[in-house]
Amino acid sequence: MQEATLCDAQDGLAPFREKFMLPAGMIYLDGNSLGALPKATPARLQQVITQEWGQDLIQSWNKHQWLDAPLRIGDKLTRLLGARPGEVVVADSTSINIFKLLSAALPLRPERRVILADSESFPTDLYMVQGLIQLLGQDYRLRLVATEALSHALNDEVALVLLSQVNYKTGALLDIAQITTQAHDAGALIVWDLAHSCGVIPLELTAWNVDFAVGCGYKYLNGGPGAPAFLYVAHTHQATVQPLLSGWLGHVEPFSFVTEYHPAPGIRRHLCGTPPILSLLALECGVDLLLEADLHAIREKSMALGDFFIAQMTPLGFSLASPRNAEDRGSQVAFRHPQGYAIIQALIAEGVIGDFRAPDILRFGFAPLYVSFSDVAQSVAILHDIMATGRWDQPAFHQRQTVT
């Protein structure tokens, strides 16, 4: 505990904790699933609802730049992504953006029919590929391989590679620069899912020659439940990719109301329908807050929190599912335990919020802007006590809920 207090005293990011609403008596280690609420968000939403919506109504599209918000917030995100202005737009969900980018990118490799993905991908990524393939027919197929086998599976059949930088269960981190180069060397293009990366890991999409990327607004960006996601298209591809979901806000002149679709130049063509303004402006509060912090300091603290957590844990039947080396991990630490579900429920009942991923993973996320070293020490102490006393083994904790 003393060590934790010392680390907190030296933590340059510690003042950010005050900028979040965190419930008293709770240690929140699930910011990788739903980020905490920035204190600035309720006031901003109140203003948007009562003034912009309530008073200014339809005029707000111009008067309060509602229509510009997807691109404006996208441009702010380029600073977290190492991308150039005009390469990112905020829209839809991560799942839908995966569909949009894959369907737009496949025609760039017309002679190839394989989409290569990691078999351990977050399932929605794979589900979206399956749906797209069903739509396209023409012998398109999904090739699933284990992470270690990715480079061997690259050949002249592969049109696109779809990968997450961070494994959502174990937190294992892939080398974007290296794998992107391998994909390009094989003549393929690559789509990176940055759902567990953006906001906690410094990224250099331009320098790494990344073709396409998507990411999530409600995790480390603290945009709120169901916040819109983002998508990135490298400048080099912007003129050549044509959206399949060709909605009016991606049209070159949405307000000309012409019958025929012509895509807007640049990233805006990847907009489809009217954006959810309330969610979008809530997301902007989260992004603005994140931009006040130094992303490299965030990464340093994230690695230190993970290391501290692992170092405090005694075996107790748990085995580490995450890489031991912090450089090889995202901002989460996972342990396996056959009774993982009940143990997580017992922890939650005592105010430590982690989550469970079937079949046996206990997952703890460390959002460096609001998680302290003392939080980590306290969580481990509670976990040890739950194990030592057997408090986890109560019927209520074995009952499965819908969201785990």
CB of 403 to ligand PLP, least distance (A): 12
> In the complex with ligand PLP, which residue's Cβ is closer, 176 or 377?
176
Give the footprint of ligand PLP on this chain (CB under 6 A). Answer: 93-95, 122, 124-125, 164, 168, 193, 195-196, 216, 229
Question: With contact defined as beta carbons under 8 Å apart, do 387 and 342 qualify?
Answer: no
Q: How far is the CB of 57 from ligand PLP (least distance, A)?
A: 30
Exposure string of 57-90, with b = 16+ CB inside 10 Å and e = fewer, is eeebbeebebbebbbebbbbbbebbebeebbbbb
For 329, 337, 391, the CA distances from 307, given in Å and listed in that order, are 10, 19, 26
Catalytic-role residue among 76, 100, 219, 357: 219
Residue 52 or 125: the one with the smaller Cβ distance to ligand PLP is 125
Residue 193 annotated in active site: yes
Q: Whole-number minimum distance, CB 252 to ligand PLP, in Å?
A: 28
* Helix (H), strand (E) at residue 297: helix 295-312
Catalytic, 39? Answer no
Residue with Cβ nearer ligand PLP (11 or 30): 30
Shorter beta-carbon distance to ligand PLP: residue 124 or 312:
124
Compute the C-alpha angle 29/232/64, nearest 5°. 85
Pick the closest to residue 82 from 188, 210, 220 (CA basis).
210
In the block, residue with structure tokens 């060590």 = 3
Cis bond before residue 123 (omega within 30° of 0): no
Give the phi and the psi of residue 354 in degrees, each rounded to 5.
-120, -165
- Least CB distance to ligand PLP at residue 247 (A): 18
In the bound state with ligand PLP, the residue whose beta carbon lies nearer, of 153 and 229, is 229
Chain centroid to Cα 97, Å, comes to 12
185 is catalytic: no
Q: How far is CA 192 from CA 147, 166, 203, in A?
A: 14, 10, 11
Q: Which of 363, 364, 370, 373 is catalytic?
A: 363
Please identify which of the residues 193, 211, 355, 375 carries the catalytic annotation. 193
In Å, what is the CA distance from 260 to each residue of 76, 246, 349? 32, 11, 57
Q: Closest separation between CB of residue 174 and ligand PLP, Å?
A: 12
From the candidates 122, 168, 230, 308, give the one annotated as an active-site residue: 122
Residues forming the active site: 122, 193, 218-219, 363
